[in-house]
Amino acid sequence: MANNQHPQLTGAEILWASLAGEGTTTVFGYPGGAILPIYDALRKFPTIHHVLVRHEQGASHMADGYARASGRVGVCMATSGPGATNLVTGLATAMLDSIPMIAITGQVSSKVLGSDAFQEVDITGITLPITKHNFLVTRAEDIAPAIREAFQIARSGRPGPVLIDITKDAQQATATYDFETAAPPVYRPHPMLHKQLHANSPSIKQALELILDAKKPVILAGHGIVESGAEKEVIAFAEALQIPIASTLLGLGAIPAAHPLQLGMMGMHGESWVNNAIQQADLLLAFGMRFDDRVTGNLASYSPNSQKIHIEIDPSEINKNVRVDVSLIGDLKQVLNILLPQLGAPSSPTAPSSAKVGSHDASPWLAEINKSKGTAAVRDIINLPDNGHLYAAHVIHDIWREAQAAGRLENTIIVTDVGQHQMWEAQYFKHESPRSLVTSGGLGTMGFALPAAIGAKAAQPHKDVWVIAGDGGFQMTASELSTIQQEGLAINIAVINNGFLGMVRQWQETFYDKNYSASPILSPDFVMLAAAHGIAGAHVSQRADVTPTVTQARTSGKPFLINFQVEKEDGVYPMITPGAALHEMVRRPVHDPLLETAEDE
């Protein structure tokens, strides 16, 4: 392209040129009639690799996993009608977890819009509640501006998915292409974000007073820490004042699990000492989290004696679920960089041995939490001897231990599905780095893991990527095994196979008098299924075989599936029942036959 010359391109070519201009190198998609002009033009753009999925839902989850693992915008595409509607679950998943993603859909010609033409559906109307924004493009000259603005919207402020629906005639028409002229309008943040915080802001001063006066503070570390890139600032803040840190599910990895101030996961299946600390706190510092119901338990009894400071980029989250005393609306990293100098935090912090919280010694509060932690850990299933039974918790713990022993922990990404195994992973795999856990939090999407792992591996090819999925969720998107094989991706797959929809079964056991209605599930031989796709695998039913097989999978350099046949009626504990307070946790029953068998032996 000459410097002073802007070429005439088809709308389809403009699309690919605009994606390349935004730095896109990988797109996940599935062709069809209304998007064929775009696929026809793909051959002219060799810098972009297209991954052919087996189902459009897989494309959306791959783009999601790509974004979570890399921090870049994920891109997926599908044709009109059913192709577009198959993206809906993935868009909703990304929306609830604030994932930057672009979905491009083909649409029938603008001349027949609204006529119920073949494979026509109002995808912008359907996705309005589950996208940050969406576009219907009917002219070739509007494609580049739509692409550029979509990327800006997806990654600015609170990230999220954006959908661009492009009619077939817009793809086929020609227009002048100029990437720079198509630049998006100046970003206009929410009006409340225009009120820039500074050292003398009243809310900053009020927050400092609460922080310096607190005797029992707790930091609530959410996904916003990772999205903001504020990991170092949060650690500096916590170390300067010796404030313990509790993590949400999506916040795991933002603060290393081995850090002495990291308590672990809070919430419905969080650690008992973490939830007790939150309930006993006199100050909660919510960093980039939204007080989801799985985190708070009964709102009426949530941390009743604490004052609350909420740092959040999305003003709509302030006081939505939990009333707070001070709200600091803005990017977390920027807000912490205002607070840190006024707290006397060093620029390169190391945890001081005699740190104080304000004028109060932090040691009693930390000692109180550690005592609670020690008591709760006594009956932890991971501490029990091998009694011949294989527990999912042991499998996940051994995957973590093998990665640690091999020196690969910092280069391992775990991608989970949704259910019991997801919670066991959060409890027993110790994440030491950001973006090392990819999981569906807000929507809880079964079938997420396998395609999301493809996206994660595409984004981080040098890292070890593990799928951890249940036998139920795995079957929802198992067709993507062929995508793994076609792409030659060395992805490791651990199927936690207990013959049930495990979390459904646990709820039926707890709340429905063990009426296991429609929760037992018949599965194929997963190793044979993998073999049918050209992927090697192994069955494991004994604890002694876990680590050697995990090592075999990790070092094979090829995709590998392990079917772990685990205890059928094991449960995830602790557990907070719906409507209960955060501290009213149900622990593993003392009469649990799994425990009694182990202790007897």
What is the pLDDT at residue 416? Answer: 98
Angle at 221 between CA 157 and CA 398, to 5 degrees: 120
Distance in angstroms between the alpha carbons of the first and the last residue of the chain: 76
Quickly state the pLDDT bin for 597 (edges 50, 70, 90). Answer: very low
- Mean pLDDT, the chain, as a whole number? 92
**Topology adopted by domain 8-176:** Rossmann fold (3.40.50)
Collapsing DSSP to helix, strand or coil, 528 comes out as helix
Is residue 119 annotated as a catalytic residue, yes or no? yes
Q: Which CATH number fits domain 379-570: 3.30.930.10, 3.40.50.970, 3.30.230.10, 3.40.640.10?
A: 3.40.50.970
Q: How confident is the model at residue 5 (pLDDT cuts 50, 70, 90)?
A: confident
The C-alpha atoms of residue 149 and residue 41 are separated, in whole angstroms, by: 22
Note the pLDDT of residue 184: 87
Choice among 1, 44, 118, 596 that is catalytic: 118
Please pick, among 13, 22, 28, 56, the residue that the annotation labels catalytic.
Answer: 56
* Per-residue confidence (pLDDT) for residue 343, from 0 to 100: 87
CB distance 61 to 443 below 8 Å: no
Q: Where are the domains of the chain?
A: 8-176, 202-375, 379-570
pLDDT tops 60 at residue 303: yes
Share of the chain above pLDDT 70, in %: 92
Give residue 185's pLDDT band: very low, low, confident or very high (50, 70, 90).
confident
Query: What pLDDT score does 375 carry?
Result: 60
Residue 15 has pLDDT above 90, yes or no: yes
Whole-angstrom distance, CA of residue 77 vs CA of residue 90? 12
- CB 563, CB 495: distance < 8 Å: yes
Quick one: CA dihedral 96, 102, 106, 109, positive or negative?
positive
3-state secondary structure of 52: strand
How does DSSP assign 402-442, residue by residue?
HHHHTT-GGGEEEEE-SSHHHHHHHHHS---STT-EE---S
* Tally of CA atoms within 13 A in the half-sphere of 574 that contains its CB: 23
Q: pLDDT class for 353, splitting at 50, 70, 90?
A: very low
Whether 373 and 273 have beta carbons less than 8 Å apart is answered as yes
Encoded tokens for 333: 């990293």
Angle between helices 143-155 and 11-21 (to 10 degrees): 30
CA dist 200 to 166, 190, 298, 534, Å?
48, 22, 36, 63
Catalytic annotation, pick one of 45, 119, 368, 404: 119
* Whether the predicted pLDDT of 348 surpasses 70: no
**Among the ranges given (147-151, 163-167, 355-359, 546-550), the one the predictor scored with the smallest mean pLDDT:** 355-359
**Homologous superfamily of domain range 202-375:** TPP-binding domain (3.40.50.1220)
Q: Which of 483, 482, 472, 410 is nearest to 447 (CA)?
A: 472
Separation between Cα atoms, residue 550 and residue 562, nearest integer Å? 8
Task: Give the whole-number percent of the chain exceeding pLDDT 90.
Answer: 86
28 among known catalytic residues: no
Question: Would you say the CATH fold of 379-570 matches that of 202-375?
Answer: yes
pLDDT band at 445 (very low <50, low <70, confident <90, very high): very high
Whether residue 574 is preceded by a cis peptide bond, meaning omega within 30 degrees of 0, is yes
Predicted TM-score of the model (pTM): 0.94
268 is catalytic: no
Could you say which of 289, 423, 446, 503 is catalytic?
A: 503
pLDDT digits (tens, 9 = 90+) for 509-526: 999 999 999 999 999 999
- Which one from 168, 216, 333, 457 is the annotated catalytic residue? 168
> 174-176 and 8-10 as β-strands: parallel, antiparallel, unpaired?
antiparallel
pLDDT for 528 beyond 50: yes
Pairwise CA distance, residues 330 & 242, whole Å = 24
Check if the beta carbon of residue 221 is closer than 8 Å to that of residue 247.
yes
Strands 356-357 and 360-361: antiparallel
Convert the pLDDT of each residue in 387-409 to its tens digit.
788 999 999 999 999 999 999 99
Instruction: Kindly list the distances between the CA atom of residue 118 and the CA atoms of 33, 178, 512, 541, in Å, as whole numbers in the listed order.
Output: 10, 34, 46, 50
